[in-house]
Amino acid sequence: MSVAEHKGYERLVNFTDAIVAIAATLLILPVVDAASQLGSHDADAFIEGVFPELIMFVLSFAIIANFWLEHHRLFRLIDKFDTFLIFFNFVWLFGIVLMPMPTALIVDGNAGDVLAVAFYIGTMVVISLMHFLMSNHVRRHPEFEHGASVTTNRWLGALVSTCLLVVALIAGLFIPQVGLWGLAIMFVTPLFVRLLRRFMPVRQTAVRSAARR
């Protein structure tokens, strides 16, 4: 059984934040590179030419920002970790670092490229799945939590998001016309979570943690 550790927790969080920041920065590099070759062209013609890149940059940046926010909300509730949590976190980071690649593939090909869309959404599935595994791992190990923090069923939102992303991935693979529009299904995630939470009581972490100690 993996042992919970406290020492080095801040280092893990800082390392994760730095990697996410680098990955988010890489998204804009193709646009910056195109701007450096602007030459005598007008700015409006340049913006029109790189508009697809700008749209994909905004989309991917928003996706990474949302994943980071959910990661932050989970990790601010804990101050300990173990080998399993580190492993899940590194695979989560792998997905984040990978995001600029499918983003570039969609821009260079087009949003109708089935493989590019599958690569893009599939990368999101990996990130979301790792977040679910981390959330569920923390749920099963309340000793990771600090003070009197109370963890609700955060893992449920991650599970719902992962399932909906899988649906979007399948739709993108078998219905090419759907493309990235399948990601619109993510907007119903809060609705599904609220419905499911009506049948799943909130877990009072502080009480269980004290009982285990």
Chain-wide mean pLDDT for the chain?
84
1 occurs within a structural domain: no
Q: Is residue 4 part of a domain?
A: no
Res. 52: pLDDT tops 60? yes
Q: Is residue 59 part of a domain?
A: yes
Mean pLDDT for 64-93 is: 95
109-152 confidence digits (pLDDT tens): 665 689 999 999 999 999 999 999 999 999 888 888 875 444 55
Which is more confident, 146 or 181? 181
Q: Among the listed ranges 2-6, 64-68, 158-162, which one has the minimum average pLDDT value?
A: 2-6
Q: In which domain, by residue range, is 71 found?
A: 9-212
Residue 70 resides in a domain: yes
Q: What is the pTM of this model?
A: 0.86
Q: With a cut of 50, say whether residue 211 has pLDDT above it.
A: no
Cα separation values, 53 from 45, 61, 150, 190, Å? 14, 12, 42, 29
Q: What is the pLDDT of residue 117?
A: 93
Q: Is residue 201 part of a domain?
A: yes
Asked, for residue 65, whether it belongs to a domain, the answer is yes
Task: For residue 166, tell me if it sits in a domain.
Answer: yes
pLDDT above 70 as % of the chain: 83
Judge whether residue 41 has pLDDT over 80. Answer: no
Q: What is the pLDDT of residue 201?
A: 58
- The more confidently predicted of residues 115 and 154 is 115
Please give the DSSP secondary-structure letter assigned to residue 145: B
Q: Which amino acid is at 170?
A: I
Radius of gyration in angstroms for the set of CA atoms belonging to the chain, rounded to a whole number = 20
Paired tokens of 7:
């020492």
Domain annotation covers residue 117: yes
> Average pLDDT of 58-68?
96
pLDDT for 55 beyond 50: yes
Report the pLDDT value the prediction gives residue 206, as an integer from 0 to 100: 41
Identity of the amino acid at 9: Y
Query: Do residues 113 and 168 touch, judged by C-beta distance below 8 A?
Result: no
Tell me how many domains the chain contains: 1
Instruction: Tell me: pLDDT of 196 over 90.
Output: no
Q: Residue 130: enclosing H or E segment and its boundaries?
A: helix 114-140
Asked if residue 54 has pLDDT above 60, the reply is yes
Burial state string for 51-88 with b = 16 or more CB within 10 A and e = fewer than 16: eebeebbebbbebbeebbebbeebbebbbbbbeebeeb
pLDDT, position 134: 96
